[in-house]
Structures are given as structure tokens and as C-alpha cells.
Amino acid sequence: MERTFIAIKPDGVQRGLVGDVIKRFETKGFTLVGMKFMNVSKELAEKHYDVHKERPFFSGLVEFITSSPVVAMVWEGEGVVASARKIIGATNPLTAELGTIRGDFGVSIGRNLIHGSDAIETAKTEIALWFTPEELVTWQPVVNPWLYE
Ligand code: IDP
Ligand code: MG
């Protein structure tokens, strides 16, 4: 089953939006398979955002993501990678559609609340970077027959 890496960034935690964010993935029908509340090391932040290392916002982004705790999660379900990106919304919360997490809760690109893997391969890399295999819980929600035919 497909899995994706989701992180509620420091602004989402500080603004008390952890429950609201988790609820959107839960009520959609995705399955939580890993979750931890943690401070992010500079090393982890730099690896996670390695693809952006040449961008002007890189150092600010690393500073921000390490500034206060985050909620790191892995969610599972058919098509979860692309669907989670739709639930999250466009990178800039000001232009993100209403009904998305960023569209509903944010006003600036540097404080866009949440991270979600952008492709299946990226998700695999990010899950392996943030979680050990033992930290992931494989389980069968009893509602699955009511979610999938
Ligand atoms: P994504 O999170 O929607 O995948 P990316 O383009 O991968 O967006 O950028 C990663 C993160 O870097 C964004 O979520 C945002 O926090 C930050 N970021 C991207 N572009 C800018 C910018 O122009 N200024 C400040 N921060 C930015
Ligand atoms: Mg990205």
C-alpha cells in the first residue's frame, strides 16, 4: 500500500492546528502508520530540503524548521501521495484553494504549515530519512471494507 511523509511544521504546532491537520487525513480515509513529536536537527533539516540547497530561501527554511517542534507522520492509502498534496494545497497559502490546509489556515509561503511528499519515490526517501522501520506500524483498520471495494 502507498505511503507518504507528512510533517506539521513549527507554525502549525505553535498555532494549535495539529488536531485540525490530522483530522483532515483521518476523515478522508487514510491510515496513520507513524507519528512522532520532535525537534528537527540541522542535519536532518538540510537532508530533507537538500533539493532546495541552492535556493535563496534555503538557510531561512532550515532555520525555521529547526526553530520549534514538528509532528512527523506517515500516512497510508491508495493514491495517498497525490491526494495528500491536494489536501495540503499549493505552496503559497495566499493562492492555495480554500478547503485545502494551506488555503484555509495560512497567509505566507514561508509559513505554510505543512510538508507533504511530492511523489511516490520522494515519499520513500523521506520516510526512510525520518523514521526507522520499527517506528512504523502496519495495521488493518476495521473500516477498510467500508473505504475500499
Ligand atoms: P512544497 O512544500 O509545496 O513542496 P517546495 O517548492 O518544495 O514546496 O518548497 C519547500 C518549502 O520551502 C515550502 O513548503 C516553503 O516552506 C519553502 N519555500 C518555497 N518557496 C519559498 C519562497 O519563495 N520563500 C520562502 N520559503 C519558500
Ligand atoms: Mg516540495
| d(C-alpha 102, C-alpha 60), whole Å | 19
Burial class (CB in 10 A: 0-12, 13-18, 19+), 56: exposed
Residue tagged active-site, from 65, 101, 115, 116: 115
Which residue's alpha carbon is nearest to atom 27 within ligand 1? 110
Q: Give the per-residue pLDDT at 7.
A: 99
52: annotated active-site residue: no
Which neighbouring-strand residues pair with 32? 75
Ligand nearest to the CA of 12: 1
Q: Give the per-residue pLDDT at 71.
A: 99
Tens digit of each residue's pLDDT, the chain (149 residues): 999 999 999 999 999 999 999 999 999 999 999 999 999 999 999 999 999 999 999 999 999 999 999 999 999 999 999 999 999 999 999 999 999 999 999 999 999 999 999 999 999 999 999 999 999 999 999 999 999 99
